[in-house]
Structure 1
Amino acid sequence: MSKCITILNELLVDTFNDILEIEQKALQAGAFNDLSVTEMHTIEAIGMYKPRTMTEVSSALNITLGTLTTAIGNLVKKGYVGRKRSEEDRRIVHIQLTKKGKLAYRIHKKFHSDMIKATIEGLTEYEEDILVKALEKLNDFFKEKYNLKHSLKEIEDE
């Protein structure tokens, strides 16, 4: 294996693990110390503004409806999510963030924003473009290789 490939592999693995660890530590140290990273990502998938169905959220997270049902049950108990059956079709369950859930969402979004700002600080516009292209290529590889349904753009739009 070439030196470049070895270094890139180490950087990607370390960065992925570090992000997860830093997110967990930030949650534990903050006002939302009762949330796991997985729960925070569930909150993120629910989104801020409109109620979503359980099916929409489970699809966005690439998890089963049963797994999401358990996660939502915990988030409801903790006061981050509200759940309501559809009046038209009782089989459909709508979920949305409570005031507490929206605050957690905003703080998590700021965490990611600060992380990205720190990443590109000091880079030229050209270097930023190269970084974006390299990460898009990596993201496309994972999406194609593992048949992940949603692109980052689709998730951001939700």
Structure 2
Amino acid sequence: MRGSKEFKIILVKLFNDILDYEESVLRASEFKDLTNNDIHVIRAIGINEKKNMSMIAKELAVTIGTLTISINSLVRKGYVIKERSEKDKRVVFVNLSSKGKAAFSRNEELYDQMVNSMLEDLEDNEMDILMRSLLKVNRCIKQNKA
């Protein structure tokens, strides 16, 4: 397939560069105790939401055991609050503490800045092509994930 090798190189580099950028911004902020994995868990929890562990694990495509390790670390760091369901003590709900909400908001700002700088020099037709292309790539990834 034409360009597949080059596309693979660019895709892998882009993915790694975004993770590196995210990590470097975290390291330079008041949230230097967070890892990329931590911030992905924080994003999956979301602001003003109370989710159970199963919902978050499904969203992140990880096991409950793996998620439990991350959540416990975030609780120790003060970013997440855990509470058991009143109806079913086996169910654990998590939400973000004020510190967790601040980290979430900072990460949103990071992505807004990154996206704005990526798009500022694109013409409208280039933006349309990029959006359609990224949607196709994302759809392919989701189909192959199952």
TM-score class, shorter: over 0.9
Which residue number corresponds to residue 19 of structure 2?
20
Distance (Å, rounded) in 1 between the aligned partners of 2:33 and 2:144: 35
Q: How many residues align?
A: 146
Q: TM-score, normalised by structure 2?
A: 0.95
Q: Does 1:77 align with 2:76?
A: yes
In the alignment, the residues of structure 2 paired with residue 70 and residue 10 of structure 1 have an alpha-carbon distance, to the nearest angstrom, of 33
Secondary structure (helix, strand or coil) at the match of 1:50 reads coil
> 1-side partners of 2:66 and 2:4: how far apart?
36
The TM-score, its normalising length taken from structure 1, stands at 0.88
Deviation at 1:13, TM superposition (A): 1.4
Query: What amino acid maps onto 2:48 in structure 1?
Result: Y
What residue number does 2:92 align with?
Answer: 93
Distance 1:47 1:76 in 2: 15
- Deviations along 1:53-93, whole A, 9 cap, x unmatched? 01111111000001111110000000000000011110111
Structure 2: 5+ residue stretches without partners: none
Which runs of 5 or more structure 1 residues have no equivalent in the other structure? 148-158
Partner Cα separation in structure 1 for residue 21 and residue 67 of structure 2: 24
Establish whether residue 129 from structure 1 lines up as the match of residue 128 from structure 2: yes
What CA RMSD, in Å, does the superposition of the two structures yield over aligned residues?
A: 1.1
Match of 1:84, SS?
strand
Tell me the secondary structure at the aligned position of residue 83 of structure 2.
strand
Partner of residue 67, structure 2: 68
Segment drifting more, 129-138 vs 9-18: 9-18
**In structure 1, what residue type is equivalent to 2:53?**
M
Residue in 1 that maps onto 2:118? 119
User: Within 1, Cα distance between the matches of 2:14 and 2:83?
Assistant: 38
Q: Distance in 2 between matches of 1:128 and 1:135?
A: 10
User: Matches of 1:5 and 1:100 in 2, distance apart?
Assistant: 43
